[in-house]
A and B are shown apart, each in its own frame.
Chain A
């Protein structure tokens, strides 16, 4: 009997906490979540990880901005089927290139979405000793906004055009849990509800914690320590959330709110009367040594990537091989297309075009993303800019005078002349043209066309003029990596 007691004791001993500790092994060559989220710095690192990865080429580092999505917006003259972007321009979504490209973007977006979800799970619902204010509000607020943005952009690509008939169609999931469980496909309407909920919570959190509201963007290093609360232009700040709310409202045709949010930004983005996002100065816009082609001061939200020169080299540089290059002509110096695009060549935006000698010829090159050493916004990839907010407001306004005023404010900032559209239709055309000029290289034009369900868009196969587009082409089929496992085809 005594013996049995010993054995029982031995077994009981095993369940003691020391044994549990013994087998709880943390890796030292990799970072486990338990160690990472022990400190506020870990949260900052994990959140920074999402921003850094967003700048990868499969997302906003190329695909979702200056690359494939702008190609789909027909900015370029592409007729050769060997061009890497040809199938995008022609909306051949089932061909190898777009199939792979969209799959890649989707996977990256949801990989980041999962990262964001873990951060949200770890922050909890209220500040803690590990994560006090303002960090709690900032980290949770930014994470929520990032989740909304990633899903909103996926909806804008893979979802249908918003209208009463389509908004109930099942389209994409909206995964909100950190565990790798499968979320059901939701309708556009349901997705928008989730996006708005996340954005609203983000806005509230940031209202109380975002230093942009008191200190401005502060694009410089903190002289006394870490720069966690600096460089607000490169973070999902309070105004960026509001801007995304405006974008989202207009997407679902809610002009009232779109106008309200947009005007809030235009009017409120000031500290003691000073603009937080001031207009580009004539000096910066026309400087030859360090031109601000990006109008970096006006950017509300952007990504910071030291690899931005890769973007320029990969798709715009005159040295790049023809089949990889995005060009507004047949790889020469023909300016017909841009001259049509910019009626006024004094427009600061026209300055991105330069003729460069390469491959033994003059090649017209888009230099918006060209690396300028020590130039303004050297590492910036703009995602939301004030110009778009003016255009959203103009589009959302029911008052022709107000709309024209908003449009002309933007045009003046760009060193071009006022216009006076006689009716809403002329205004719309003006806004469309302005949008095309203003958001070149930022991936928004395709969504603008899609939101407005345009049946005619610029023609890829001629330097000027338009081509018709089938509304089906605005919707990209869900990637195979999603539906193959889910089973069945797209609903």
Chain B
């Protein structure tokens, strides 16, 4: 077929909100020319659950368990950020041992999350043997989580002013043994992901996010670090025990010497972070001081203290997917928070999809989209995305819209 006879008009493909290829509801609209993607529109807001509203009708201790249920995989980092926000507002000091224990839990969650992601990424490119291999390692991490916290997924370990369970000396051999297991298997996993031709073929030069774009679009976590931006809350802000530990902001440059910002770099980035997490847990176990694990063991007394506080606090935590921010305002009258606002990391990592996907092929969509480790249910807040313009609805606007709809229906 000659150049003149080909039709040059592009066509649209809508994908989602409910689609077999997607694990969570999100709506894409692709503008395609043949196999190439010319433009992408992302629409969110399909799983808004009103978690923040529910949180404003509960006391901070109850909100901890509600925050845990924002996301199944990040079931530690949301209560952690909420606790940091309340501690910031109420000026509660945390015992030093609890700070170290908090780091151990946070890094264990990072191992679980990145292992799960590595499996999903392998599954997206059709390499299912690696999916089973990584999830076998993850199973060990989940067993360790169950041993340390009492449950596999909803850990319920965080509390305001400390942590709920201690790691006693008789538990340490098990932790050390599992860390050795992760280290042994990490080498194998590194070899599979970094040297295998199948993975390289699909991930190198796919879904490139340039450093400028990453900064401009405020990408967070491994997504931005894989593009060479040194952004990490663990090094940027001293919280938990990260100030005492040897934490470096790592980028793929540490291993390969160059930063391309492609899917391959994001794989390297996450694998390096797993290694860093193992090292951090080992460091914590060695350096952990003895002492209390909660500042105030009597919860009613703690609640009375929080009840009197009038002020606001911000909690920032480096979740496996990036920076999670919780904002809490306490009014000093009731024991419920006056306001609670959550910003999950995927919220920032949605817009980088647009530069990543432009110019790619349709078959690359799953792996490129999965490379930012998206979590839709965490992301859906009051923000409304319509025609790729983001805006938030105020009460008056919502009311107006509601009246308009009623009028429309009456006609």
To the question of whether A and B form a pair in one complex, the answer is no
